[in-house]
Amino acid sequence: MSDSDGLDWWYCVKHQKPEHGNVCGTRDRLGPFPDEATAARAPEIARERTRIADEYDAQ
């Protein structure tokens, strides 16, 4: 997915908030996400994915 059209939502880890389009650059963001509400949940989503990966690695 490309955000060149400015339609994607991202979570900026620097500012700890969702942003529409490439506001802070690739280095400081998570995503893309389909909407602002999902982008706002990015830290929670990342923690859950990490937990699942850690459980898999422990097997």
* H or E element that contains 51: helix 42-58
The tokens describing 22, both together, are 């490439």
Check residue 21 and give left, alpha or beta (phi > 0: left; psi -120 to 50: alpha): left
Q: Do you know the residue count of the chain? A: 59
pLDDT in tens, 13-25: 999 999 998 888 8
The tokens describing 55, both together, are 């459980």
Contact in structure between 10 and 33 (CB atoms under 8 Å) = yes
pLDDT in tens, 8-59: 999 999 999 999 988 888 899 999 999 999 999 999 999 999 999 999 999 9
* H or E element that contains 20: strand 17-20
